[in-house]
Amino acid sequence: MEPAASEECRYTYEQYRETADWLLDHTKHRPSLAIICGSGLGGLADHVKDPVVFNYTDIPNFPQSTVVGHAGKLVFGTLAGVSCVVMQGRFHMYEGYPRGTVTFPVRIFHLLGARTLIVTNAAGGLNRGYQVGDIMVIRDHINMPGLAGINPLSGPNDERFGPRFPAMSDAYDEQLRSMALTVGKELGYGPSLHEGVYCTLGGPNFETIAECRFLQQLGADAVGMSTVPEVLVARHCGLRVFGFSLITNKSVLEYGTREKANHAEVLEAGCQAAVKLERLVSALLERMNGKGLV
């Protein structure tokens, strides 16, 4: 479907149900875990065993990816022994999609029976201690569009999904964050593995130097153009959430430099470092599975 022209465009519960039922009718997999892959990070889906793959174009009511680095496929199967659904390509408001469209898949995952959502993204490093290729476990987020009133939970609330006023002080699961840091150290990622705050902006332009300095002052360690809307809807549905940012570029913080962020470099850095992230996710899922957390 095409991006809706109005921010007020909303899906009905029956449309969510129609999409979920269609998927349940077309695969025997019943995922307990959903993963959303960010720019250049769709390689996680290549590790899925016994895959059943759907193009977004074939799924009723499903939006379409328009950004390079987002394949536009939904992959069902098992990863590290865990029944999962992997989203190769997410949606963004800068593509022209309304808030409800950007987060549409999350409610589908909830209706499919998923209990945990893992979100990944490519992000710019604001923290001066971060290097390209580092991985940041998301401890918390700053929702800049949300502070301006742009929130996927705005409008009439459907109690079948969640409460009117969901708490976000525990948005990113503490147990899974701690487990990921432990697993990462065991894999030898210690110096390049961090825990920090992710800030989302509307995009599609990269940030100005003044904006990057401002975000640093707010306490942000990494910045991107996605993830938070999906997390809000996931927590509204009661899903446990865990997130990674792959640092694919260092934010430009000094005047007089010739450095510029661009999407091609983000994709290249993502491809080079994605193997680390894939190993970390697989090892984390094995640990979660062993502890009965999925």
What pLDDT, on a 0 to 100 scale, did the predictor assign at position 70?
56
134: confidence class by pLDDT, cuts 50, 70, 90: very high
**Taking Cα atoms as reference points, which of 221, 25, 54, 28 lies closest to residue 137?**
221
Asked if residue 5 is part of any domain, the answer here is: no
Domain that holds residue 219: 13-290
Higher-confidence residue of 213 and 290: namely 213
Asked if residue 7 is part of any domain, the answer here is: no
Asked if residue 1 is part of any domain, the answer here is: no
Mean pLDDT of 271-294: 87
Catalytic residues: 39, 70, 92, 94-95, 122, 225-226, 249, 263
CATH number of the domain enclosing 30:
3.40.50.1580
- Mean model confidence pLDDT for the chain: 91
Asked if residue 162 is part of any domain, the answer here is: yes
Mean pLDDT of 11-18: 96
Question: Per the confidence metrics, is the pTM higher than 0.85?
Answer: yes
- Amino acid 42 reads G
For the stretch 249-268, pLDDT in tens is 889 998 987 777 777 776 67
What pLDDT, on a 0 to 100 scale, did the predictor assign at position 137?
98
Residues of the chain with pLDDT > 70, as a percent, come to 93
Asked if residue 2 is part of any domain, the answer here is: no
- CA 147 to the chain's CA centroid: 20
Asked if residue 6 is part of any domain, the answer here is: no
Asked if residue 3 is part of any domain, the answer here is: no
Q: Is the pLDDT reported for residue 5 higher than 70?
A: no
Mean pLDDT of 218-243: 97
Mean pLDDT of 122-135: 94
Higher-confidence residue of 103 and 43: namely 103
Total number of domains in the chain: 1
Q: What is the DSSP string of 68-128?
A: TT---EEEEEEETTEEEEEEES---GGGT--HHHHTHHHHHHHHHT--EEEEEEEEEE-ST
What pLDDT, on a 0 to 100 scale, did the predictor assign at position 53?
96
CB distance 68 to 116 below 8 Å = no
What pLDDT, on a 0 to 100 scale, did the predictor assign at position 9?
56
